Homo-oligomer: A and B are copies of this chain.
């Protein structure tokens, strides 16, 4: 198990950029990766254009341990993810015999196993399939890139299938506390705590509480439980001091 495993997400689809479809995959994958000890470092959303897909994929795959893509693996002309990824890796792409065999069983009416459907069986050479009995168009893993569907329920099933094949790192631990204070009142002492606890990441997130008053959630993250506890203790001490003053 290596210490730190990183990832990028590449969301592919005009419909996300036009606002017609609201992405639900980024948040799901982000939380999923945090839970299995993989650090999500960057997300990009690009249109259904080969040159854009390849440029973003290359930027991400050379930088992070894994890249997860969503979208563009269906049967229509705008589904160009598999071809773009084959091109990025410089490998061929062809109908995968295992997928074609499954399609032949499933689509037995005349004309059903048409060119469009067969397009979903096009898999870059050397890729491993990500599939199950309930998934029609398979995803695949090639190198460090995991290619998944854009439909959230299918993407989620694919995450479950591919996860056992991934290496995971030391999990980032996280603890949060409700400050019962305005963010601007604690910014100074919080900065001092952050400086004194360099192996932790301290985040401050304002929200409006049930009394409609400005409130703040403080989150301390670290891979080291002792360091996390020490920083969180300092945060709680700081907050207790504030409340005494009130």
Contacts and interface: CB of A to CB of B under 8 A. Distances in A.
Interface in A47-86: 47-48, 52, 74-79
Interface string A1-39: 000000000010011111111110011111111100001
Q: Is the interface of A mostly helix, strand, loop or mixed?
A: mixed
Query: Can you tell how many copies of this chain the complex includes?
Result: 2
Interface stretch (A87-95, A126-134, A162-170, A196-204): A196-204
Given A44-B44, A194-B77, A20 B114 contact: no
Contact of A34 (B18, B119, B174): B18
B190 A76 contact: yes
A119 B246 CA distance: 23
Contacts of A115: 187-188
Nearest to A116: B187
A223 interface: no
A145 interface: no
Interface in A218-238: 219, 221
A46 interface: yes
A47 B221 CA distance: 14
A76 B19 contact: no
Nearest to A45: B43
A221 to B, nearest CB: 7
A191 interface: yes
Contact of A14 (B32, B107, B183, B201): B201
